[in-house]
Structure 1
Amino acid sequence: MIRSGQGQTDVIERGNGIWESRGVGNSYLVTTGEGDVLINAGTLADAERGKKLFARVSTLPIHSIILTQSHANQYGGLEVYKTADNTVIAHRLYNEERDYNDALFPHYSRGSRRIFGGITGNTDSLIPTREVRPDLIVGDEGHAFTLGGRRFEIHWTPGGETRSAVIVWLPQERVAIVGNLFGPLFGNHPNLNTLRGDKPRSALQFVASVKKLRALGPEQILTGHEDIRGAQHIRETISRIIESVQWVHDRTIEGMNEGKDIRTLMRDIRTPEHLMLTEEYGKLAWNVRAIYHEYTGWFDPARGTTELYGVPPSAVAPTIAELAGGVDSLARAARDFVKKARPLEAIHLLDIAVAAEPQSSLVREVKREALVLLDQQSGGNNLWERRWIATELADLKD
């Protein structure tokens, strides 16, 4: 999906005068007789390509540019499309989110490169060379306008990937352009807490935002990557998503009130078959953890007193290795776990061994075996999980 725009030679017609330029995040041009509306600019590289493609289907000026959230795959190419005569529209929280993203740019970009560097390419192709701020700030109540006889409604959906997330609703056509409200995949578990280090997202805000979309009754949904059609299919899938995330939320709260620790809940909570969602992007067990920490913060009582202080477990790794008879003994014990198809127990031991002696060839060899087995057991079904394991394996080569 991310790379699908690289070979694109023509925009894709999505019906009702809506055209799609694909990229790290898709851009949509909605044409009218009085000018066009662009929904998301894409990354800088996406915009440089997309502008030329859009010019083949419309020569009218872009009247408005609507940003569905504050990630670079929505705003990165703004400078390509921005003119003195068009209006950039975003939610009131957009500038605040951009400011904290800029303040933490090295942190966020390091996390993104680790997970997605091999997919999205060079950072310079994603981010703008100059800042373009919104001309029109939309409040929580939303915003609407009519252009060329077409009505555009902007609805705030803070349960998406950012608090400034909005969807664009075309009521006459019953088309919703939802950005990354669902993440990149429709019918998938939401990703409430990413491995790259974003702010956590609220499960209940996600449910409320998706309910708002369901109430509109869309017959077509254009996401950041997909074209979903059919009123019944959309409503049934949206309802399953709502009920599934609510069910996971409620079971997590129940478990917390029963005194169960976070890892027990991650292992034990499983949705009924009729509420199952795919886990290619978000993952049920990780959402249990995100919900738990949404209500409790960072302290995990199950990990005890040391959670309160800055001394990590690695501080005692050399002592544990010595007591075990050296890192080779730990590595051999870890290999026994691998042979028993228990890679996570092996990695717990190997983390101690690596902290004690990072350059041990035996430790690195066994850790590779454990990671490969873990990848096999997971089935490679979750993008974040398989990318994380891939980066861990790459680190061993270094």
Structure 2
Amino acid sequence: MTDQERRADDRLRVAELVKSGEGQAAAIERAPGVWESRGVGNSYLVTTPEGDVLVNAGTLADARRGRELFAQVSNNPVRYIVLTQSHANQYGGLEVYKTSENTVIAHRTYADDRGYAEALSAHYRRGSRRIFGTITGRTEAMIPTREVQPDLLISDEGHAFELGGRRFEIIWTPGGETRSAVIVWLPHEKIAIVGNLFGPLFGNHPNLNTLRGDKPRSASQFIASVTTLRALGPELVLTGHEAISGADHIRCEISRIIDSVQWVHDRTVEGMNAGVDLRTLMREIQTPPELTLTEEYGKVAWNVRAIWHEYTGWFDPARGTTELYGVPPSNVAPAIAELAGGADRLAERASAFVREGKPLEALHLLDVALAAQPDSALGRATKRDALKLLTEQTGGANLWERMWIAAELRELDDDRA
């Protein structure tokens, strides 16, 4: 990894959490008999006298490390493995833990989720590498060497079982990162293991539609799923990366998350009904201070766009007739460059936008200039300046935004080499 790649994820909390399992020497006891192994996605071992329950297997590398950590605290057989969703940081290490003596449990839509993920594996992995490649490491450390199918697919009504005096309730939360998302509820202890229902950060805007290209999440289903969690009254919430404690604190924070996402949803729908165009809504909708959530993973503007498209689909009337056809704007770039006096003239004007502190206007022009003349040295240098200015202006506070721009800069440097 280069110094530039190391700097790209510097001081991003998500990156720190994802990497926090590196060098972990002992499992963390989050509650009596509830042990945590950290990684790209945390795994939790709930011990009982009659055997243990594992919630999420982690990635393949996480599981190999986690199995050793859990062996230090329990030599019981793992009787059940529950998958809280269908991403590789939940199922990737199944082969490490799976035996003939345990039962792998997932929601009934898990098979569909895995099916479309495999059908689009090249697409998803390409998108993931672009954003997370320098954070999560090699693909081979993430994905399994063989597929392990669930033994039990539960219905939408959920599933419950008891083991060694502990009761486990599995509740479907389709507003999670995948449709097969569930939470594992320990009612006697008031502990909810929620995986990535909230995304990787608690108190952050959910990322309803990722730059990686995942299937979009529904804002309304997210709100409903989080409302389901709130109704349980948990005293400890264990996410895919964090432990949140305190019944009052949890209730207040969950309520704020619900109200904030609902507020963005309602303002978006109001704007749509009033005939306001999408990009205007993206610029203008801002949550009031009391509903402000952090934006390291999801962003208000992106969720406005996700909600718009959730209800209307792909067609944006503001883009006009050409939006209906497969002819891209880049097809007319040479003609625009010719009228402007060449691609470098466009790049010069873009450079002026950069000096004026308008990197996005510069990038719009550079899209035309570089489509007309991809090897324009001035165009490429100006694009580098515009991207760096954009990072400065945004503060580099959002993981997706920062890593996307870092990838763009890296590609400019790679092409130059």
Secondary structure at the aligned position of 1:32 is classed as coil
Query: Do structure 1's residue 105 and structure 2's residue 125 form an aligned pair?
Result: no
Measure the CA separation in 2 of the matches of 1:6 and 1:138. Answer: 33
Question: Structure 2 matches for 1:199-214, cutoff 5 A?
Answer: 199-214=215-230
Which of 66, 69, 73 is the equivalent residue of 1:57?
A: 73
Question: Structure 2 matches for 1:221-300, cutoff 5 A?
Answer: 221-300=237-316
State the one-letter code of the partner of 2:205: H
Q: 1:191 matched to which residue of 2?
A: 207
State the one-letter code of the partner of 2:52: D
Query: Do structure 1's residue 379 and structure 2's residue 391 form an aligned pair?
Result: no
Q: 2:330 matched to which residue of 1?
A: 314
Measure the CA separation in 2 of the matches of 1:238 and 1:153. Answer: 20
Tell whether the 8 Å contact from 1:166 to 1:178 is kept in structure 2 after alignment: yes
Measure the CA separation in 1 of the matches of 2:264 and 2:135. Answer: 31
Secondary structure at the aligned position of 1:64 is classed as strand
State the one-letter code of the partner of 1:78: L
Secondary structure at the aligned position of 2:20 is classed as coil
State the one-letter code of the partner of 1:47: A
Q: 1:87 matched to which residue of 2?
A: 103
Which of 358, 373, 376 is the equivalent residue of 1:360?
A: 376
Measure the CA separation in 1 of the matches of 2:370 and 2:385. Answer: 14
Tell whether the 8 Å contact from 1:266 to 1:289 is kept in structure 2 after alignment: yes
Q: 1:69 matched to which residue of 2?
A: 85
Measure the CA separation in 2 of the matches of 1:56 and 1:359. Answer: 58
Provide, for residues 20-76 of structure 1, a one-character-per-residue CA deviation record: whole Å limited to 9, x for no partner: 001100000000010000000000010011101100000000000000000000000
Measure the CA separation in 1 of the matches of 2:406 and 2:23. Answer: 26
Measure the CA separation in 1 of the matches of 2:120 and 2:155. Answer: 25
Tell whether the 8 Å contact from 1:354 to 1:360 is kept in structure 2 after alignment: yes
Which of 157, 167, 186 is the equivalent residue of 1:141?
A: 157
Secondary structure at the aligned position of 2:237 is classed as strand
Measure the CA separation in 2 of the matches of 1:120 and 1:324. Answer: 44
Measure the CA separation in 2 of the matches of 1:290 and 1:26. Answer: 28
Residue 16 (structure 1) shift: 2.0
State the one-letter code of the partner of 2:21: G
State the one-letter code of the partner of 2:146: R
Which stretches in structure 1 are left out of the alignment for 5+ residues? none
RMSD (Å), alpha carbons = 0.5
Provide, for residues 241-294 of structure 1, a one-character-per-residue CA deviation record: whole Å limited to 9, x for no partner: 000100100000000000011000000101111111000100000000000000
TM-score (norm 1): 1.00
Provide, for residues 88-145 of structure 1, a one-character-per-residue CA deviation record: whole Å limited to 9, x for no partner: 0000000011011000000000000111111111111100111100001111000000
Measure the CA separation in 1 of the matches of 2:196 and 2:67. Answer: 21
Measure the CA separation in 2 of the matches of 1:327 and 1:137. Answer: 57
Measure the CA separation in 2 of the matches of 1:359 and 1:77. Answer: 44
Residue 227 (structure 1) shift: 0.5
Q: 2:346 matched to which residue of 1?
A: 330
Measure the CA separation in 2 of the matches of 1:243 and 1:4. Answer: 31
Query: Do structure 1's residue 40 and structure 2's residue 40 form an aligned pair?
Result: no
Q: 2:144 matched to which residue of 1?
A: 128
Secondary structure at the aligned position of 1:129 is classed as coil
Residue 6 (structure 1) shift: 1.3
Measure the CA separation in 2 of the matches of 1:233 and 1:340. Answer: 45
Provide, for residues 142-164 of structure 1, a one-character-per-residue CA deviation record: whole Å limited to 9, x for no partner: 00000000000000000010000
State the one-letter code of the partner of 2:325: Y
Measure the CA separation in 1 of the matches of 2:372 and 2:85. Answer: 44
State the one-letter code of the partner of 1:85: E
The structure, 1 or 2, with the larger RCO (C-alpha pairs under 8 Å, 6+ apart) is 2
State the one-letter code of the partner of 1:141: E
Measure the CA separation in 2 of the matches of 1:100 and 1:328. Answer: 44
Measure the CA separation in 2 of the matches of 1:54 and 1:359. Answer: 54
Query: Do structure 1's residue 30 and structure 2's residue 46 form an aligned pair?
Result: yes
Measure the CA separation in 2 of the matches of 1:104 and 1:392. Answer: 23
Measure the CA separation in 2 of the matches of 1:139 and 1:16. Answer: 30
Measure the CA separation in 2 of the matches of 1:358 and 1:88. Answer: 51
Query: Do structure 1's residue 159 and structure 2's residue 185 form an aligned pair?
Result: no
Q: 2:19 matched to which residue of 1?
A: 3
Secondary structure at the aligned position of 1:232 is classed as helix
Identity level (%): 74
Tell whether the 8 Å contact from 1:16 to 1:173 is kept in structure 2 after alignment: no
Measure the CA separation in 2 of the matches of 1:214 and 1:351. Answer: 46
Which portions of structure 1, spanning 4 or more consecutive aligned residues, are displaced by more than 4 angstroms? none
TM-score (norm 2): 0.95
Tell whether the 8 Å contact from 1:338 to 1:370 is kept in structure 2 after alignment: yes
Which of 365, 369, 374 is the equivalent residue of 1:349?
A: 365
Measure the CA separation in 1 of the matches of 2:22 and 2:374. Answer: 40
State the one-letter code of the partner of 1:124: E
Secondary structure at the aligned position of 2:24 is classed as coil
State the one-letter code of the partner of 2:119: A
State the one-letter code of the partner of 1:7: G
Q: 2:3 matched to which residue of 1?
A: none
State the one-letter code of the partner of 1:337: F
Tell whether the 8 Å contact from 1:185 to 1:225 is kept in structure 2 after alignment: yes
Query: Do structure 1's residue 96 and structure 2's residue 124 form an aligned pair?
Result: no
Q: How many aligned positions are there?
A: 398
Q: 1:176 matched to which residue of 2?
A: 192
Measure the CA separation in 2 of the matches of 1:301 and 1:178. Answer: 39
